[in-house]
Amino acid sequence: MTNRIAVIVLLLGLGGVFANLLMGYVPDADLNRSGAYYAQHTAAETGSANVVTAIIVTYRGLDTLGEVTVLFLTAAILGLALALESRPQAAPRPPSGELLTTGSRLLAPLIVLFGVYVFLNGHLTPGGGFQGGAILASATLLLLLTDPLKKFGHGLISRVESGSGFFYVSIGVLGMVLAGGFLDNRILPLGTFGSLLSAGAIPLIYSLIGLKVGAEFSSMLANLADTEERK
């Protein structure tokens, strides 16, 4: 009981801090300096119509590399933590129904296609590598749900993961050699503003990020699916 009272007192204090922040909040009338720079110069410097994409892929590309690395570490630690237990042969489960199998065969390619669409158009419309990667992972999820007995292709997932990571870093280094700096997108021509093949290397880099994120999420899901089902 004293525990709960302590928690409530703590949260009341935190709530007081939040209320103070909220009362003192005055919305800006103009963009601050970094926001104004991005709004003004994104179109000329990167050729990307989506300013958020330009920030993630080019201006703050190094942060995104770090983030993808953190995600990779998470997937690796998750695999390690789940692989520690001894895995007895799970009892065979009845195969999933005809409807589920046919439906997933029909839907999985379409979901993958949509994911690819989302990350290829990341510089023009909302969306990009992270969202597209999550959509790719949901295709994996569908396959895992329909056919739980099939050993999932860990080899393919890890090859996609490491391959896209390698090319991502290579493009970054290429940017250092051919253009202004690490992950600079101007190693390819900027093209016409607003068309699919524009914005230099941004569609390429975001596709690689999408593949990497999708592979990492898929490996997390596949690792969890491999754990035995408790009765």
Partner 1 sequence: MSSLMLAIAAFTVLAMLAAALIATFSKSLSASILAAGLVSLLASVLFLVLAAPDVAMTEAAIGSGLTTFLFFFVLARVRGGDND
Partner 2 sequence: MIAKIAMASGFALILIGLYGALTHRNMLRMIVSFTIASTGVNVALVAVGWMLGRTAPILDAAVPVTEALQRVIDPVPQALVLTAIVIGLGVTALMLAYAYRLHATKGGLDITDHTELKW
Near partner 2 by CB under 8 A, which window of 32-40, 99-107, 143-151, 184-192?
32-40
Report if residue 220 touches partner 2, rule: CB under 8 A. Answer: yes
| φ, ψ for residue 94, nearest 5 deg | -65, 145
Taking the least distance from each CB to partner 1, the nearer of 134 and 179 is 134
Q: Mask 38-57, x = binds partner 1 (CB under 8 A)? A: ------------x-xx----
Report if residue 131 touches partner 1, rule: CB under 8 A. Answer: yes
Report if residue 225 touches partner 2, rule: CB under 8 A. Answer: no
Half-sphere exposure of residue 176: CA atoms within 13 angstroms, side-chain side: 8
Q: Select from 44, 42, 47 the least CA-distant residue to 196.
A: 47
| Residue position matching structure tokens 């896209």 | 164
Q: Which of 2, 24, 84, 88 binds partner 2 (CB under 8 A)?
A: 84
Near partner 1 by CB under 8 A, which window of 5-13, 159-167, 203-211, 214-222?
214-222
The string of DSSP codes covering 2-34 is: HHHHHHHHHHHHHHHHHHHHHHT----SS--HH
Q: Which does 38 bind (CB under 5 to 8 A by kind): partner 1, partner 2, none?
A: partner 2
Is-contact 211 133, C-beta < 8 A? yes
Report if residue 35 touches partner 2, rule: CB under 8 A. Answer: yes
* Amino acid at residue number 44: A
CA distance 206 to 53: 9
Least gap, CB of 141 to partner 1 (angstroms): 6
Is-contact 92 149, C-beta < 8 A? yes
Binding-site ranges for partner 1 (CB under 8 A) = 50, 52-53, 118, 126-128, 130-131, 134-135, 137-138, 141, 217, 220-221, 224-225, 227-231
